[in-house]
Structure formats: structure tokens, C-alpha cells
Amino acid sequence: MKVLIVSKALTAATYHRKLEWIAAEPDIELSAVVPEVWHEPGVGDYPLEVRSAAGYRLHVLPLRHNGHHHTYTWRGLGRLIRAERPDVLHIDEEAFNLATFQALRHGRQVGASMCFYNWADVARSYPPPFRQFERYAFRHAAHALAGNHLAGQLIRDHGYRGPLTVIPQFGVDEERFTPADTPLPARPFVVGFFGRLMRSKGVIDLLDALERLPADIHCRLIGQGDLSAEVARRIAAPPLLGRVTLEPLLPSGEVPAAMRSLHAYVLPSRTTPSWKEQFGRVLIEAMACQIPVIGSFSGEIPHVIGDAGLVFPEGDVAALALAIEHLYANEGQRQAIAAAGRERALSHYTQRQVALSHVAVYRQMWQPPESALTAA
């Protein structure tokens, strides 16, 4: 079975471990299409970190309208699909996006069995032409993948009636995201947040909570975004002066070590009229490193954490502060939560498990010609 995955997300090296596991399956010949760089609006560039593929072919194509999530397209994609002639074409993008429409049209020309990948979990009506793109995807896709439960329900509500599977887009590489060899010093107690510095991510709530907590609770912020300047001003003055560090985005290969510098990881996302937390990949990375996690009730976060962390009402600064202080003051509880988190990450969210779940879908989607003749 020839499988072609088209994905702008595959610029990160850690995500290629999933491809290696897919390619290791004896009945699969895998290729992937990636950009040289993805320009994430309000955050910065995500350059391609992988140059040599292990067990699969890697095709690097340029993008038109790079950084525009809904209207970007791939240069030369049609030519590549015609050359590859995949049995299964996996478009790692929302059903309503122009890039999905582009790939589906070219995939139909070579008779590929196709799937798309939806993350959107907030109900809304799409204006033309995006609603038309979505309908086209619903008509011509053999399978739909959803990154979370709400996204799966949303495309059902929008009229999709075909096979659907809820699978995380990527898992965690348990060989890289491992517990620290030695325990951290007890003080200062360091919590962390890695990601986009935006109001929807609850960064201001985290700073407000820190102001309520003992001075030897510190915070490590890694990322950038619309709030970078405001955060920098806040942490340069009392009571946060000397307690919070603000650092730029890290290459994906440096994230495990950064995780292991924390006593706890916090994802305080806040739902907005147009967004709610779609998964929270950093949570499973922290859990795999045996770092206890705290998350809000936004979107998929409670499903990801399960009973292996602390969950608080989104936007409730007092509850967030209480959760952090609970871990700070109770080492035994902290260790128990950390161990439960690692167990959950290893049992639900490894790259291998996610890869095999995708392989199972691909096998459902494609029936070899000889099998089809036998069935007839």
C-alpha cells in the first residue's frame, strides 16, 4: 500500500517518529510532503528540522500564502501526486481549507483513497468558498480523522456521514520525553508554560496566579505571541521580578530537557467565541517526562489529562493558584500525579500507538485490487 501524507505540521523533527513507525509496517510504502518552513501568524517561523528520512521518502515543496491557515496551497503538489500515484492520500488539514480541496482534486485524478484531518471544535458557519470546500471533502473522502471528540462531533453536525476516527495528530516520543535522572532541588519550585503567548492560552491568568503564591514559586515561559511585550513588562516589576523567565521558542529537540527543568506544567487555556483548546500536545510531553500537569477545562484538556493531573475551571485564577500551591506543598501527591501522568502518556499517547491507529485507518480505506476481485 502506497501512502502519501501531506502535512505542514511535519516541520518538527519529533513528529517524524510517527512516520518511522508507519513506514516500519511491512505492507506500507510511505512518502511525506512537507514545507521548507511554516510561518505561524503571531508566533514566528517553524523551519523544517528533518533533512534525511528513515524508511520513508520526504518531499519538500514550497507554499503559496505561507502562514494563511485557510488559503495556503502547495506548489507542485499535483505533479508530485501524479508521480507518486498513492493508494492512500492523507491530507493533514481541515476539510474546509483550500489546501485540502487542492489535494483532494489531485488525489481523485489518480484514484487515491483519501482522508482529511479536522481539529476545529467550535461550531460556526463557513462563508463561501470554505463551505464548498468542506462539502467537497465530505463527498470525496473515504475517511475522516478528528484530533478530538468535539471536532468529530462538529463534522457530523456539518453533514459528514462517512467513517470517522478520533486520533491525536501526533503522539509523544517516549524515547526522548523521559523522566529526569535526578530529582530537581525542592526550591525554587518551578512551573512552566511553553507555547503561544496569547490571551486564549491563559498566560495572563498564570501570571495573576503567581502573584498570589509564595515568592519561591517561579515560572518558566517559553514562546512568543501577541502578549510578549505585556508579559515582558509584567515580569520586569514586583511582585514577579526575578520569579519569571521569558524565553524564545525552542527547537523541538530541546523541549524534553526544558520539560525536565520543571516541577509542574500548566496549560491554563481559556475558551473564546472562536476557539477552545483542541488537544494540548505539551501536556502529553510533560506527562511522559513524569512532570505533573495542571490544565483548565477548555476543550479537550480534561480528556487528555483524565485522572492523571489537576483540572481547574478555566479563567478561575484562585483555583489555578490553589492547584499550583497544592503541588508545591505536597511532594507525595506531586510524585503520585507525576507517575500517573507518565503511565497515561505511555498507555495512550506514544508515537507508536498513534502511528498504528493511523495504519489501521489506512487499511480500512484501501482494499488491494486482488482482494477486491476476490470479494466480488
User: pLDDT tens digits for 9-27?
Assistant: 999 988 899 999 999 999 9
pLDDT for residue 354: 95
The CATH architecture to which 2-171+350-375 belongs is: 3-Layer(aba) Sandwich (3.40)
How confident is residue 376, by pLDDT bands cut at 50, 70 and 90? very low
pLDDT for residue 110: 98
Average pLDDT of the residues of the chain: 94
CA neighbor of 344 nearest in space, from 315, 375, 374, 306? 306
Q: Is the pLDDT of residue 360 over 80?
A: yes
How confident is residue 209, by pLDDT bands cut at 50, 70 and 90? very high
Q: Is the pLDDT of residue 374 over 70?
A: no
Residues 202-220, mean pLDDT to the nearest whole number: 98
If you search the block for the grid coordinates 520543571, which residue do you land on?
Answer: 262
If you search the block for the grid coordinates 523551519, which residue do you land on?
Answer: 47
How confident is residue 375, by pLDDT bands cut at 50, 70 and 90? very low
Q: Is the pLDDT of residue 371 over 50?
A: no
In one-letter notation, the amino acid at residue 46 is: Y
Q: Write the DSSP assignment of 231-292 as a string of letters.
A: HHHHHTSTTTTTTEEEEPPPPGGGHHHHHTT-SEEEE----BTTB-----HHHHHHHHTT--
Residues 186-208, mean pLDDT to the nearest whole number: 96
- What percentage of the chain reaches a pLDDT higher than 70? 98
User: pLDDT tens digits for 328-359?
Assistant: 999 999 999 999 999 999 999 999 999 999 99
What predicted TM-score, i.e. pTM, was given to this entire model?
0.82
User: pLDDT tens digits for 259-304?
Assistant: 999 999 999 999 998 889 989 999 999 999 999 999 999 999 999 9
pLDDT for residue 252: 84
Angle, CA of 246, 249 and 252, to the nearest 5°: 135
The CA distance from 288 to 174, in Å, is 6
Residues 241-246, mean pLDDT to the nearest whole number: 97
How confident is residue 368, by pLDDT bands cut at 50, 70 and 90? low
Instruction: Report the residue count for the chain.
Output: 376
pLDDT for residue 373: 37
Q: Is the pLDDT of residue 202 over 80?
A: yes
- What percentage of the chain reaches a pLDDT higher than 90? 87
Name the segment(s) of the chain with CATH classification 3.40.50.2000. Answer: 2-171+350-375, 189-348
pLDDT for residue 249: 87
Residues 237-252, mean pLDDT to the nearest whole number: 94
- Omega prior to 47 cis, within 30 of 0: no
Residues 149-172, mean pLDDT to the nearest whole number: 94
If you search the block for the grid coordinates 517518529, which residue do you land on?
Answer: 17
Q: Write the DSSP assignment of 171-191 as a string of letters.
A: -B-TTTS---SSPPPSSSEEE
More confident position, 102 or 368: 102
Q: Which fold has domain 189-348?
A: Rossmann fold (3.40.50)
Give Cα separations from 38 to 5, 92, 122, 171, 185 (angstroms).
Answer: 16, 14, 24, 20, 38
